Each structure stands twice: as C-alpha cells, then as structure tokens.
C-alpha cells in the first residue's frame, strides 16, 4: 500500500500564497468576474520572490491586510474621538464593512489610504485582519490627494469645521496652499468662510476634544460662539459650557448671549508692579505679578554685545540641574 509523504513547504512560499489571496479582486457574480491573477503574475515572477511588493490593479476592490495599509499623510480628518472609533469597530465586527475605503499604491508598492481612516482604525480596534479597499490612480500631488479625500468626507457629511481648521492651518503652513485665498479658491469656498473656520484653530486641545464628542455642537456658528466665549471666560468655564450646551440643547445664540453677559462683567486682572528701565541707551520695562509669581523683563535698543552680556548674566542665575 502506497504511503503519502508530506512535502515541506518553505515559510516564504506560504506567506506568498497568503498575500496573493488578498489580491483577488472582490466581485459579485463570479461568472462576470475577470480572470484572477495567478501568484506569479501578481508578483511578476516565481512564488519564492516574496520580498517583492504585491501589485494591485486600479479599479479593482481587494481585501487588504490592515497591517499593510498606510494612512493618508494629508487626511482631512484631524480629530478621531475614542467613542467614534469604538462605534466603528463595533459596527464592523457586527455588520461587516458596508462601504469600501479608497486607496492607491505608490511606487514602493505600499497601499496608501485616500479615504477611510476611521474604518481602518475601527478594523484595527476590532482585531479584523483586512479592510476592503478600492484601488484608484495615485493622486498627482498632496494637494490633489487632500482635495479628493475631503470631497469624499463632505459628500458623507463627515467633515467638521474643527477638522478643517486644524488641517487648513497645517496645509497653509506647509505651503501646500500658499495663502488662505488660494485654499478658498481651490475648495470653492468664500474667503470669509475660510477665515472664520481658521479662527477655530486657536482653541486649546481640551476644548477641541470636548466639543468633538458632541456632533450637535459642530456647526461653524456654534463653534465660533464657543471660541468667543472662551476668549472672555477661559478654558475651564468653556468646558463647563460645552457640557451644559450638549445636555440642555443650547443653540449658538444662547452661547453668544452668555458671552455678551460675561463680557459686561468686571474682568479681574492680576495685580502687577511695573518699573520703567533705562540701560546703556536702551529702554524697557520690568513687571512683577504677585499672585502668580510671574516676572517679565523687556528691553529694546541694546547693542548686540550688551544683549549677549545681559542674557549670559540672567541665565547664570539658573544653573542647570
């Protein structure tokens, strides 16, 4: 009786086959599907060449291992709350992925997201092995990549003014858009809208994160009312206001009224002592704030060597530990 002998298979060959399985396009009726590429076709050579990146076909949809997906470097979403990611993870685990994310493959063979960061984070949180991606042509520039991704978010009503404020500030600072006007023109938005949105970038991170937890507070009018209240009352009282607004259903007019009432009150300023200074032709001022233990020194008109001498003497008062 003939015996069956198991043949040892190299680990690299097993890995290659597993990768190739993820490269099979997802289609509906298998009779209508194009021929599935073989492993050698996908890798451009033999099965053993597992070091070569897998190639994906533009226009096809694949289940791609989450560990091989890179985030969009100019992702228009800047804020992902823990509750939002957890909600996505639960949905993916319970109902599966309803809509494919989109991505492109770069020259190095890496799969880079265009749109779908929340789904990717949700898949990782849920411990899912793959994410379904539609492969698209690589955008010609970071600007084009950003605009394509943002358009997808806007279409799903998944883009908040806070996301825009944070991301626009970054894109302008990186000269992806040279000016606010250039950004407004590219996105077909009014310059006044862009300016009001960018003003939200002043908000402290605690306030941004707190507001982001309540989707009903994320209109531009409400967020600017919150910003104006913060400018008058500070961080702690603004955090309390956000919680109250979310609980009671306050509108932006209610928040604006609170800000006006607060602005009419006496603003308590820290007590300070000031002394005018003159030193070697330079003029300045020394301030001491008793309550918070703060001091400020300002001198203008010093010669460079004198400025260096004073700086050295001040720093000598604070020996390095």
| Overall average pLDDT of the 75-103 stretch | 94
Residue 37 banded pLDDT, cuts 50, 70, 90: very low
Dump pLDDT digits (tens) for 120-150.
Answer: 999 999 999 999 999 999 999 999 999 999 9
* Mean pLDDT, residues 114-120: 96
Mean pLDDT of 4-27: 45
The number of helices, as runs of H, and strands, as runs of E, in the chain is 13, 8
pTM for the model: 0.66
Least confident of 31-45, 231-245, 277-291: 31-45
Q: Which of 22-31, 188-197, 208-217 has the lowest mean pLDDT?
A: 22-31
In the chain, where are the structural domains located?
56-159, 203-264, 272-316
- Residue 270, pLDDT > 70, answer no
Buried b (16+ CB within 10 A) or exposed e, 188-224: eeeeeebebbbbbbebeeebbebbbbeeebbebebbb
Q: What is the pLDDT of residue 321?
A: 57
CATH architecture of residue range(s) 56-159: Alpha-Beta Complex (3.90)
């Amino acid at each position: 009786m003939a015996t069956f002998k198991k043949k040892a298979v190299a680990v690299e060959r097993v890995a290659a086959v597993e990768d190739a399985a993820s490269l099979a396009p997802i289609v509906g009726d298998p009779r209508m599907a194009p021929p599935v590429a073989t492993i050698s076709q996908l890798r451009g050579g033999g099965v053993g060449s597992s070091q070569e990146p897998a190639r994906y076909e533009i226009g096809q949809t694949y289940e791609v291992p989450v560990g091989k997906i890179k985030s969009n470097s100019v992702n228009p979403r800047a804020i992902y709350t823990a509750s939002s990611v957890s909600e996505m993870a639960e949905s993916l685990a319970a109902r599966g992925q309803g809509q494919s994310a989109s991505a492109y493959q770069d020259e190095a063979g890496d799969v880079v997201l265009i749109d779908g960061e929340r789904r990717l984070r949700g898949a990782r949180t849920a411990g899912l092995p793959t994410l379904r991606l539609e492969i698209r042509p690589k955008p010609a520039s970071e600007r084009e990549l950003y605009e394509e991704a943002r358009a997808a978010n806007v279409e799903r009503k998944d883009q908040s003014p806070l996301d825009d404020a944070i991301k626009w500030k970054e894109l302008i600072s990186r000269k992806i858009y040279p000016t606010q006007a250039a950004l407004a023109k590219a996105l077909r938005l009014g310059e006044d809208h862009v300016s009001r949105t960018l003003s939200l970038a002043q908000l402290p991170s605690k306030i941004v994160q707190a507001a982001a937890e309540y989707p009903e507070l994320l209109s531009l009018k409400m967020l600017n009312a919150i910003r104006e209240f913060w400018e008058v009352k500070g961080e702690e009282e603004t955090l309390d206001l956000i919680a109250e607004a979310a609980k009671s259903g306050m509108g932006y007019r209610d928040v604006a009224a609170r800000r006006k009432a607060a602005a009419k009150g006496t603003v308590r300023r820290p007590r300070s002592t000031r002394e005018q200074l003159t030193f070697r032709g330079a003029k300045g001022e020394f301030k001491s704030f008793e309550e918070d233990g703060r001091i400020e020194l300002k001198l203008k008109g010093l010669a460079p060597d004198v400025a260096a001498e004073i700086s050295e003497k001040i720093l000598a008062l604070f020996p390095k530990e």
